[in-house]
Amino acid sequence: MTAELDTAPLEAHAAALVEAAKKAGADAADAVVVKSASLGVEVRNGKVEESQRSENDDYALRVFVGKRVASVSTNTFDDIAALAERAVAMARVTPEDPYATLADAAALARDFPDLDLVDTANPDSAALTEMALAAEAAGLAVKGVTKSTGASASAGYSGLVLATSAGFTGSYLVSRYSTSMTAIAGEGTAMERDYEYDVVTHLGDLKDPATIGRMAGERTVRRLNPTKLATQKCAVVYEPRVATSLVRHFTSAINGQSIARKTSFLREKLGEAIFAKGIRIIDDPLKRRGLSSRPFDGEGCAAAAMDLITDGVLQTWLMDTATAHELGLTANGRASRGGSGPTPGSTNLTLMPGEESPEALMKSLGSGIFVTDLIGQGVNGVTGDYSRGAAGFRFENGEFVEPVSEITIAGNLVDMFAKMVPANDPQDRHGVVVPTIAIEGLTIAGR
């Protein structure tokens, strides 16, 4: 993998695309190369079911002619003059965009910190197969597990190369290693399914595959014979794995594009208390070994950790250059970039932990539902209305009583955020680090 990680040739390609755009008549331009490669193995019933290898270098050129902008993309570095001419011709006939521009030169990154994002370990298909088989075998060994729907292991990397006519050139890569297993328990219509997974930037940080499989099996077995609850209002506790969705709903609502388009239920809330006092949410693109870390954003801007929420109060929107200009604010280095133009987005998110353990928190609530699985995407970003299918466990006095399924949790995110209470158990492993979260007074729709 080491030779493949050399991005210098792609930096030269991106710079050449920018020069071709200027020769074609563009006033300004930037070029992006999205680089990725992966090797993955899936096994089922002790045999390899699928093995996949992919390598891609995708090029995108964005050109500006006055206030007009256009983008073109390709997966080959051929005839770049024609590509640039086509992009400029497209820009000349598009409507003007008063906010379209490259990032301000003063905001561009000058130094690229070493974030330790690349591990050059290069497991081959045989090693990945062994990992996946170990995960599946451990899951099937759990008493009560009847079947496996498969296990997988993968290794790869992805990254970004960016060059702009403002003089910026930079690149970064992030390696990723993962293992997962999905188990089934029960028979016929009484079957239940659950899974476990892990993904990291360094192979040595990956959980043991047997641990992944065992956890998948244990999660599945404990879901057997669920009860269907009557409709009621009660406390809902989200385990960390599903609690991340609540933070994602929040960051979607503070995306600068949603604010500019007036399609967010938080659009009038900047500087106001959204969460309870003491709640803090951080976005940090410079986290070492972070899955969403990067030394610069999708426009080449420097970025630093920042509070999105401090003591419950909303501090900022997530903004790229265009949305910041539209909102009359200053961009904060949160441009994300794929094969098209930049859009605002978050990086590594952390909801800081509370003081109580999940057990103590549930005991203080008396009774309620502990959610381990969410189904569907029933969230209205304009109103904040929330309705999602769920499964988990009914608890009393901090103890699980019985599994439950086929319920729907309903509420409004404005009220839910205000009532949110975090426990003290975050697991700092993924791109969104969130502890167990409790919210009182939600509606449970059941039988």
**Structure confidence at residue 4 (pLDDT):** 66
**Structure confidence at residue 326 (pLDDT):** 96
Q: What is the DSSP secondary-structure string of 86-124?
A: HHHHHHHTSPP-TT--PPPGGGB----------------
3-state class (DSSP) for residue 264 = coil
| Dist CA 374 CA 389 (whole Å) | 6
State the distance between the two ends of the chain, measured CA to CA, in whole angstroms: 54
- What DSSP designation does 253 have? H
- Strand 367-375 vs strand 232-238: parallel, antiparallel, or unpaired? parallel
Partners of 97 in the β-ladder: none
**Structure confidence at residue 378 (pLDDT):** 85
Give how far Cα 13 sits from Cα of 24, 58, 63, 170, Å: 16, 11, 16, 12
Q: Sheet harboring 47-65: ordered strands across? A: 68-74, 47-65, 28-44, 145-164, 169-185, 192-200
**Count of Cβ atoms closer than 10 Å to residue 106 Cβ:** 7
| Dist CA 370 CA 358 (whole Å) | 10
3-state class (DSSP) for residue 28 = strand
**Structure confidence at residue 197 (pLDDT):** 96
**Structure confidence at residue 5 (pLDDT):** 74
- What DSSP designation does 166 have? T
Q: What is the DSSP secondary-structure string of 183-244?
A: EEESSGGG-EEEEEEEEESSGGGSPPHHHHHHHHHHHHHTTSSPBPPPSEEEEEEE-HHHHH
**Structure confidence at residue 160 (pLDDT):** 94
**Structure confidence at residue 2 (pLDDT):** 47
At 413, give phi and psi (nearest 5°).
Answer: -60, -30
| Dist CA 410 CA 233 (whole Å) | 10
Predicted TM-score (pTM) above 0.85: yes
Q: Running along the chain, 447 residues long, what does each successive block of 10 average in pLDDT?
A: 73 96 97 95 96 93 96 90 96 94 92 94 95 98 97 96 95 96 92 96 97 98 93 96 96 97 97 97 97 96 96 98 95 88 95 96 96 92 96 94 95 97 91 96 89
At 417, give phi and psi (nearest 5°).
Answer: -60, -40
Give how far Cα 61 sits from Cα of 137, 159, 316, 378, 383, Å: 47, 17, 30, 36, 36
3-state class (DSSP) for residue 258 = helix
